[in-house]
Amino acid sequence: MAEEKEQKGITVKKADDFSEWYSQLVQKAELADLRYNLKGFVCYMPWAVISIKKMYEKYEKLLEKNGHLPLIMPSLIPESNFHLEASHVEGFTPEVFWVTEAGNGDKFEERLALRPTSETALYKMYSMWIRSYKDLPFKRYQSCQVWRYEGKATRPFFRAREFHWIEAHNVFATEEDARKQILEDMEMTYQMLEQEFSIPIIFFERPQWDKFAGAVSTYAADALTESGKVIQLPSTHLLGTNFSKPFNVKFVDKDASEKYGFITCYGPAISRIYGAMVSILGDDKGMILPFDLAPVQIVIVPILFKGSKEKVLEKCEEAEALLKGMYSVRLDARDDMSAGEKFSEWEMKGVPFRIEIGPKDVDTGVAVVVNRFTKEKKAVDMKQLGRYIDDAARNYTRHLKEKKLLDFSSLIQKCETLDEAKNAIENKKIVCCGFCSVDMEGANCAETIEKDFGAFVRGRKVTDEKNHFSSCIVCGKKAKETVYIAKSY
């Protein structure tokens, strides 16, 4: 019996086997069901969806505060749209799901792509919607699903053939204004991921050989998981006029001349951010969630014994009534589980606070409050319970993000040689080193790194780079850049 109960929890340590830990977390916390009979397509379960909806709400609110308006675009894109921008079609065609017929075998005149991303759909319409400089800046976003034929092994939330995201597409009169939008996108990313979701990130300008297909420049946020691999989170792209010219996105300027708009696009993949969040914040007992994103923020568990059940439940109901107007509260009065089993289940699901009330607590007028993140266990006077929870709730996410930001800085290692870098990668670190160039001339050195130890040049930090090196870690030439190297999902 004891062995059966033990198996309900995660059976491996996160630090020892991250992949197995994550797989068990997804299953045992009931985040997703992988049994849908189509590879790479996953059923997201209520516990995950509730948090994901909250994440969407926060992101959409911030986008609209910054002047973006919402759209809903068709999911199908004519193949001819893709061919208008050569590098874009080359980059995305291998990943596209194509629809070629409908009904009783009626063939379409041209193939239709299930949206892998929306540039070629939106800009076709932007050419009709934008007429004058008075229409600019033109800032739109949509929350939607996209489909990509992912050839690598899929993993729920991290990598799939269908994922859920927000994409913002903006048009400006000048390149200078477009670059200001790139900075705003990065600021939004830090505000959402670090401040709201407690995910520490670094923003890199991607090397030219790793930029978005059709972009002038790509800037992407990387987060490091405990497996030592980074996961790319929101990226923002300066497209310049690379799309406005083939799609005829023009405006008439103040001087009556016709000009092409400068375009940017930004793509926070909410499902992937969720996967990064639960994997980075979780521990050996299961999930840890930012307070605002937890589906249940407080669970009340009665400690029941014969002869005292009624008075304990009455006190638990009082606590529930006190807190439920402000918080998402669950009173777990199930009688087919022990208190210990309930503790483990709610720890697995990452509920921030657990309130325990037993017969002795009723007699002494206290409730025991347990903090999921800090593990602190405190007896609180029932008369002060509301005030205590208010204070603890305000500080919960702050303590979480401060700890995780500190942890992240310790995972970066400066390296002068390839041997040092290889050792650092094997020890689950991000390598900081000198590099010859992030332009195409550095592609051969990047290929050497990928071939020799399966890691990738993530790019150069966008701001606040304090490390400098004299030579390239691969070829030994003068280092023009300081770059970061890591394995990736």
Same domain, 383 and 435: no
Cβ neighbors of 174 (< 8 A, separation 6 or more) are 262
Residue 69 included in any domain: yes
Judge whether residue 356 has pLDDT over 50. yes
Give the domain-ending residue among 392, 425, 459: 392
Residue 5 included in any domain: no
What is the pLDDT, as a whole number, of residue 375? 95
* Dihedral pair phi/psi, residue 441, rounded to 5°: -65, -20
Contact between 237 and 211 under an 8 Å Cβ cutoff? The reply is yes
The DSSP letter of residue 261 is P
Contact between 112 and 40 under an 8 Å Cβ cutoff? The reply is no
Please state, in angstroms and rounded to a whole number, the distance separating the CA atoms of residues 471 and 437: 11
The DSSP letter of residue 286 is B
Please state, in angstroms and rounded to a whole number, the distance separating the CA atoms of residues 369 and 389: 9
The CATH number of the domain holding residue 387 is 3.40.50.800
Same domain, 52 and 137: yes
What is the pLDDT, as a whole number, of residue 404? 82
Same domain, 312 and 459: no
Structure tokens at 410: 């310790």
Give the domain-ending residue among 281, 315, 330: 281
Q: What is the DSSP string of 262-324?
A: EEEEEE--HHHHHHHHHHHH-BTTB----GGG-S-SEEEEE---TTTHHHHHHHHHHHHHHHT
Judge whether residue 368 has pLDDT over 60. yes
The CATH number of the domain holding residue 126 is 3.30.930.10
Between helix 46-65 and helix 175-189 the angle, nearest 10°, is 140
Contact between 10 and 286 under an 8 Å Cβ cutoff? The reply is yes
Judge whether residue 2 has pLDDT over 80. no
Please state, in angstroms and rounded to a whole number, the distance separating the CA atoms of residues 140 and 119: 12
Judge whether residue 6 has pLDDT over 60. no
Same domain, 424 and 338: no
Residue 355 β-bridge partners: 300, 369
Q: For residue 4, what pLDDT band results from cuts at 50, 70 and 90?
A: very low
The residue assigned the tokens 């697995």 is 348
Same domain, 120 and 226: yes
Q: In which region does residue 473 sit, left (phi positive, over 0), alpha (psi from -120 to 50) or beta (all else)?
A: alpha
Cβ neighbors of 421 (< 8 A, separation 6 or more) are 415, 431, 433, 449, 453, 455, 473, 485
Residue 320 included in any domain: yes
Judge whether residue 324 has pLDDT over 60. yes
The residue assigned the tokens 């483990």 is 344
What is the pLDDT, as a whole number, of residue 286? 97
What is the pLDDT, as a whole number, of residue 7? 64
Cis peptide before 137 (omega within 30 of 0): yes
Contact between 145 and 105 under an 8 Å Cβ cutoff? The reply is no
Judge whether residue 149 has pLDDT over 90. yes
Interval 408-454: pLDDT, tens: 778 899 999 999 999 999 999 999 999 999 999 999 999 999 999 89
Same domain, 206 and 275: yes
Residue 140 included in any domain: yes
Q: In which region does residue 312 sit, left (phi positive, over 0), alpha (psi from -120 to 50) or beta (all else)?
A: alpha
* Dihedral pair phi/psi, residue 256, rounded to 5°: 75, 5
Structure tokens at 219: 């800037």
Same domain, 367 and 328: yes
Percentage of residues in the chain having pLDDT higher than 70 = 99
Interval 29-78: pLDDT, tens: 999 999 999 998 999 999 999 999 999 999 999 999 999 999 999 999 99
The DSSP letter of residue 242 is T
Judge whether residue 219 has pLDDT over 80. yes
Q: What is the largest CA-CA distance in the chain?
A: 87
Domain that holds residue 417: 412-488
Cβ neighbors of 100 (< 8 A, separation 6 or more) are 107, 108, 111, 112
Same domain, 72 and 177: yes
What global pTM score does this model have? 0.94
Judge whether residue 86 has pLDDT over 90. no
What is the pLDDT, as a whole number, of residue 5? 43
Domain count, the chain: 3
Same domain, 135 and 255: yes
Q: For residue 217, what pLDDT band results from cuts at 50, 70 and 90?
A: very high
Structure tokens at 144: 């939607």
Helices (H), 190-250: 244-247
Please state, in angstroms and rounded to a whole number, the distance separating the CA atoms of residues 460 and 202: 10
Judge whether residue 3 has pLDDT over 60. no
Question: Which of 25-34, 312-321, 403-412 is predicted least confidently?
Answer: 403-412
Please state, in angstroms and rounded to a whole number, the distance separating the CA atoms of residues 473 and 463: 22
The DSSP letter of residue 210 is G
Judge whether residue 141 has pLDDT over 70. yes
The DSSP letter of residue 167 is E
The CATH number of the domain holding residue 467 is 3.30.110.30
